[in-house]
Structure 1
Amino acid sequence: MVKHLRKPHDLGGSEAGPVDRNEHAHEPWEKRVDAIMRLVSDEKRQMLTVDELRRGIEDLGPGAYDKLSYYERWISSLTNILIEKGVVTIDELGRKMSEVEARWTVDRERRP
């Protein structure tokens, strides 16, 4: 018999402790990630499905899956899938991230 190897997201039957059911405030960036997912998966654009998002999250691997927060997993999966589909390139993302970093650096230096 072949032993089934579980992926990090497969917690069925495992002791994971109590679930915190308290509401919590979402950070602005988390709300943006949710909005991005809604936009790319809407009826008009259809760039991504929830199933693809889940597959991308499951493919992150144990190191990333365990260390990333819920919305960090989402944005990682979204990014990887949009790159796979050719919607955006790694170079485009790198350039944009550099622009944002430069803007944040300038803003930080201007603060008293």
Structure 2
Amino acid sequence: MDKEARRAHHDLGGASKFMCEPVDTEPHSLTDFDREVDALRQLLSARDLMSVDELRRGIEAIPEADYHRLGYYQRWIRSIADNLLRRGVITEAELRAALEAG
């Protein structure tokens, strides 16, 4: 790879900045949130409302500071929300109301 080429902020493989950080290889349980986000993604895919490619593109489009602050499934839900807004499946007002309702 050309050393002058700027890698995207989501492209962490082999990045020296992250090579000294230990990788947690221990099995871990998914939280209820993780399972719900995955189930939502599967439902949206089954109903042709969002593809896995759209999910990935949405995750890659998250601004760098947010990308590194968010957890794995938090990135997924951010991408899902952005995709549903972009497609007009939900409105910003509906999203705000759902977030406020908790």
Report the TM range for the smaller structure's normalisation: 0.7 to 0.9
Range 11-20 or range 72-81, more displaced: 11-20
Q: 1:98 to 1:13 in 2, by over 3 A?
A: closer
- SS of the residue corresponding to residue 96 of structure 2 reads helix
Q: Identity of counterpart residues, as a percentage? A: 40
Aligned length: 97
| Deviation at residue 21 of structure 1 after TM alignment | 1.8
* CA distance, structure 2, for counterparts of residue 88 and residue 32 of structure 1: 18
Bigger mean CA deviation after superposition, 64-73 or 7-16: 7-16
Q: 1:88 aligns with which of 80, 87, 90?
A: 90
Question: Is the 8 Å Cα contact of residues 7 and 61 (structure 1) preserved in structure 2?
Answer: no
Aligned mates of 1:48, 1:18 — CA distance in 2: 34
The Cα RMSD (Å) is 1.6
CA distance in 2, matches of 1:56, 1:31: 19
Q: Which 4+ runs in 1 deviate beyond 2 A? A: 15-19
TM-score scaled by length of structure 2: 0.86
Q: CA deviation at 1:90?
A: 0.7
Distance 2:11 2:99 in 1: 33
Question: Which residue identity lines up with residue 29 of structure 1 in the other structure?
Answer: F
